[in-house]
Amino acid sequence: MNLKKLVDEKHFPLWGVVASIVGLVFILTPQLFYVGSEGEPYSMFNHAVSELGELGVSELAWMFNIGMFLAGILFIPFMIGLGLYIDNIVSKLTSVVGVYSAVSIVLVGLYPMNYMYEHSIAAISFFLSGMVMTLLWAIAILVQKEVRVHKALSLGGFINMTIFALFLYGPFGGFGGPRPEFSMRITLEWAIYWAIVGYLLILSLYVWRKEKNVESSQ
């Protein structure tokens, strides 16, 4: 398969679907087996996402880290393909930001919390680029001349951007100090996970189904 075929309208949505499924299975499964340093079970309300990849603490840290690495790799052809599919200046710019964001996910998998300096750079790179990327996808969809992705799907991009912004700039404090029963900042981090995976999966399935219907009608 040549590179052009890899990101054409028949193939790039499948990369997005597979990447999303990997992101769901490999990231959610380690929660079931997690026992924290104080013997506590995992909770999305007071445990950061990356704690699932902490070596020596999370039993299935290897699974989480491999999942982040694979999901990031798989999202790269999806980002390129979606930008070419929408085919405007904004979408092509968004592809570049999307690839950068996907590479950041790869680096989060390569550098778990045990390598805090490298992990922090990779994580903040993802959060910042993810916020910009989802905003740009929304704009790219809205300004289409030839509508290839339904403009209503821009709403998901704006929702994602808002959650990213609340996480990054909201007055909710950091991750330090004793572990609370409920942390708004950590809850927002998990909201980012659900929102971004859900949005990219919806976009992937939308294009895949649309192109499948076009192919079957020919």
Task: Tell me how far apart the alpha carbons of residues 90 and 134 are, in angstroms, rounded to a whole number.
Answer: 12
Query: Does 209 have pLDDT greater than 80?
Result: yes
Residue 145 DSSP class:
S
How far apart, in Å, are the Cα atoms of 151 and each of 140, 143, 148?
9, 9, 9
Both ends of the chain: CA-CA distance in Å? 23
Segments forming the whole domain that contains residue 81 = 3-217
SS3 string of 193-209?
A: HHHHHHHHHHHHHHHHH
pLDDT computed for residue 1 by the predictor: 55
Task: Tell me how far apart the alpha carbons of residues 11 and 6 are, in angstroms, rounded to a whole number.
Answer: 6
Q: Which of 19-23, 68-72, 83-87, 211-215 has the lowest mean pLDDT?
A: 211-215
What's the gap between Cα 215 and its chain centre? 29
Q: How many other CB atoms are there within 10 angstroms of residue 173's CB atom?
A: 11
pLDDT average, residue stretch 176-202: 94
pLDDT per position as a tens digit, 133-172: 999 999 999 999 999 999 999 999 999 999 999 999 999 8
pLDDT computed for residue 129 by the predictor: 98
Confidence of residue 30 (pLDDT cuts 50, 70, 90): very high
% residues pLDDT > 90 (the chain): 87
pLDDT per position as a tens digit, 94-119: 999 999 999 999 999 999 999 999 99
Query: Does 69 have pLDDT greater than 90?
Result: yes
How far apart, in Å, are the Cα atoms of 149 and each of 85, 89, 138, 207?
9, 15, 10, 7
What mean pLDDT is reported for the chain? 95
pLDDT per position as a tens digit, 39-58: 999 999 999 999 999 999 99
Q: How many domains does the chain have?
A: 1
